[in-house]
């Protein structure tokens, strides 16, 4: 008997499931989308750049699944509502939603942070997640009421939600709020078979952290404080994404998944 024939536990096979990843055209979102596609899920991605969307969707379709992209600004309620309805009708259903789209900003200090920056980060990182999850829940609740319960909602928060992140007060507030929102959603929607969890990335090498990656002081001071002694990579989020989209996590809700190479406990 070949080794693979002896594997009978296969909950991580996502064939027949549809996953939506906001901000799925690059970075952590694309890392998750790629693993989900490689596990058999059909994938829908949202992003603001049409060119990046098309490139990412083509790479995901090359995994042999149905993959499509929508140009959506998650800080626009109408766009989120229209796109969620369109994904459900085009892809047939939505089983897992990863609210990953997010932005950072460079602020010299809290006292120098202006209101426009505060409003902008709130609109993408918090309003965007609220509308994405509300529309996802509307789909999942009505599907459950029609006799087909189930679903997984995943918010990409940040260690900034639970650790003091200097010069990041607005960003940290959005991520803390996302965690609180997820816990409420988890309790309210368990009766529909829907679970909700948060992922808290540590220091991950993406466009968002380009400045830190290029800063020698960061390499000297922060990298030695990461037990894994390296930056996280988008593909480090594949495993947790597949687990949360799969039936293996059917009884796992309201939890926080810290993916940081051990940074938070060191």
Q: Which of 19, 20, 88, 102 binds ligand NAD (CB under 6 A)?
A: 102
Write out the binding residues for ligand NAD, residues 45-84 only, by CB under 6 A: 46-49, 72-75
Tokens of 261: 């190479």
Q: Which is nearer to ligand NAD, 158 or 197 (CB)?
A: 158
Q: Which of 98, 133, 203, 257 binds ligand NAD (CB under 6 A)?
A: 203
CB 66, min distance to ligand NAD, A? 20
Clarify whether 171 is annotated catalytic.
yes
Q: Are 18 and 93 in contact (CB under 8 A)?
A: yes
CB 180, min distance to ligand NAD, A? 16
Selecting among 9, 105, 118, 171, the annotated active-site residue is 171
Q: Does 28 bind ligand NAD (CB under 6 A)?
A: yes
CB 108, min distance to ligand NAD, A? 20
150's CB contacts (< 8 A; 6+ apart) are 95, 140, 143, 144, 192, 193, 194, 250
CB 117, min distance to ligand NAD, A? 14
The phi-psi region of residue 28 (left if phi > 0; otherwise alpha if psi is between -120 and 50; otherwise beta) is: alpha
CB 256, min distance to ligand NAD, A? 13
Write out the binding residues for ligand NAD, residues 123-182 only, by CB under 6 A: 124, 156, 158
Q: Does 35 bind ligand NAD (CB under 6 A)?
A: no
Q: Which of 209, 246, 249, 253 binds ligand NAD (CB under 6 A)?
A: 209
Q: Which residues pair with 152 in a beta bridge?
A: 96, 195
Among 214, 250, 246, CA closest to 231: 214
Q: Does 25 bind ligand NAD (CB under 6 A)?
A: yes
Tokens of 53: 């969307």
Q: Which residues pair with 42 in a beta bridge?
A: 18
Q: Which residues pair with 143 in a beta bridge?
A: none
Q: Which is nearer to ligand NAD, 190 or 205 (CB)?
A: 205
Tokens of 11: 């909950």
Q: Which is nearer to ligand NAD, 28 or 37 (CB)?
A: 28
Q: Are 231 and 201 in contact (CB under 8 A)?
A: no
* Residue 106 DSSP SS3: coil
Among 150, 146, 155, CA closest to 128: 155
Q: Are 218 and 247 in contact (CB under 8 A)?
A: no
Note the residues at the interface with ligand NAD (CB under 6 A).
22-23, 25-29, 46-49, 72-75, 100-103, 124, 156, 158, 201, 203-204, 206-209
The residues carrying an active-site annotation are 171
């Amino acid at each position: 008997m070949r080794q693979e024939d002896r594997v009978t536990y296969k909950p991580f096979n996502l064939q027949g499931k549809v996953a939506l990843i906001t901000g799925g055209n690059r970075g952590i979102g694309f890392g998750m989308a790629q693993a989900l596609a490689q596990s058999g899920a059909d994938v829908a991605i949202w992003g603001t750049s049409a060119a990046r969307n098309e490139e990412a969707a083509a790479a995901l379709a090359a995994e042999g699944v149905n993959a499509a992209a929508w140009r959506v600004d998650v800080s626009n309620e109408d766009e989120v509502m229209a796109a969620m309805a369109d994904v459900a009708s085009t892809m047939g259903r939505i089983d897992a939603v990863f609210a990953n789209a997010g932005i950072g900003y460079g602020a010299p200090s809290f006292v120098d942070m202006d209101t426009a920056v505060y409003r902008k980060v709130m609109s993408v990182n918090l309003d965007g997640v609220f509308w994405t999850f509300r529309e996802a829940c509307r789909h999942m609740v009505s599907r459950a009421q029609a006799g087909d319960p189930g679903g997984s909602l995943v918010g990409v928060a940040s260690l900034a939600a639970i650790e003091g992140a200097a010069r990041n007060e607005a960003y940290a507030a959005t991520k803390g709020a996302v965690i609180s929102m997820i816990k409420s959603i988890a309790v309210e929607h368990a009766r529909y078979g829907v679970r909700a969890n948060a992922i808290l990335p540590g220091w991950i090498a993406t466009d968002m952290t380009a400045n830190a990656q290029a800063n020698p002081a960061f390499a000297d001071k922060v990298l030695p404080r990461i037990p894994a002694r390296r930056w996280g990579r988008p593909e480090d989020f594949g495993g947790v994404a597949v687990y949360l989209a799969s039936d293996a996590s059917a009884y796992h809700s309201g939890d926080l998944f810290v993916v940081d190479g051990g940074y938070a406990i060191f």
